[in-house]
Amino acid sequence: MDLGIRGRTAIVCASSQGLGRACAQALAEAGVVLVINGRHRSQLDQTAAEIRASTGAEVTAVVADVATPEGQAALLAACPAPDILINNNGGPPLRNFRELNRQALLDGVTNNMVTPIELIQKVIDSMTARGFGRIVNITSSSVKMPLVGLDLSSGARAGLTAFISGVARSVADKNVTINNMLPGSFDTARLRSNLSAAAKRTHVTEADAVARSMANIPAKRFGTPAEFGQTCAFLCSVHAGFITAQNILLDGGAYPAAF
């Protein structure tokens, strides 16, 4: 399917690995001109080179911490008025909520709520002026269903979800959409490190922790980053202009509800 976004520009935050990278790859396949981002130069440059080689896309690599004002300025200097913004960032570490001090709580809210809102503030008016914009926030299935040790992630991302719900309606008539993608378990470095920590905590092998985790998913497997990326690219396509303020759950059926 032609997504109709060839030549459009995108900032894909936190995209040197994992789900962000998969979104960048899928957008590059659709002909989008990319800014990708991560904090570590070597991984980011390698990813940029691999995306260029596999798609021929124009890719600018911006080494920056997306949660800082300087990092956001660097991203916008590389692409001042993107047509597409993919908001992504690292998630908080697994913690018992009793162990989170005030600074840890504020950091979680900054990373997973304040940062995406700040970026939306900076790009949205140029999108409405051009009559095209696609914003996708990578949140988590934990917004809908609590996950042990990820309460800060759930809370901060639910705050973002509620915040943009009204914002999305205010720009819908300008062909600017804002949607959230809620990953369940996707096979990335983050998932593997969470499972490795869970294995240690519960005194089982990593292979057992993986098997148990897959057994709890009706699809009996983890999602692939490519599946996630292609869904993101569709939400950014011309065909998805009537989809806005939605929470797209990708979890292999793990959320146990009819609606």
Binding site for ligand NAP (CB under 6 A): 14-20, 37-40, 43, 65-67, 88-91, 138, 140, 153, 183, 185-186, 188-191
The residue (of 122 and 176) whose beta carbon lies closer to ligand NAP is 122
* Cα–Cα distance, 29 to 24 (Å, whole number): 9
Give min distance, CB of 174 to ligand NAP, in A.
28
The residue (of 39 and 239) whose beta carbon lies closer to ligand NAP is 39
The residue (of 48 and 57) whose beta carbon lies closer to ligand NAP is 48
Give min distance, CB of 76 to ligand NAP, in A.
14
Give min distance, CB of 155 to ligand NAP, in A.
13
Give the type of residue at 21.
R
Q: Are strands 84-87 and 59-63 parallel, antiparallel or unpaired?
A: unpaired
> If you write DSSP's letter for every residue of 2-50 in order, what string do you get?
--S-TT-EEEESS-SSHHHHHHHHHHHHTT-EEEEEES-HHHHHHHHHH
Give min distance, CB of 121 to ligand NAP, in A.
18
* Cα–Cα distance, 199 to 109 (Å, whole number): 27
Give min distance, CB of 247 to ligand NAP, in A.
13
* Cα–Cα distance, 2 to 22 (Å, whole number): 18
Q: Are 78 and 126 in contact (CB under 8 A)?
A: no
The residue (of 14 and 199) whose beta carbon lies closer to ligand NAP is 14
The residue (of 51 and 171) whose beta carbon lies closer to ligand NAP is 51
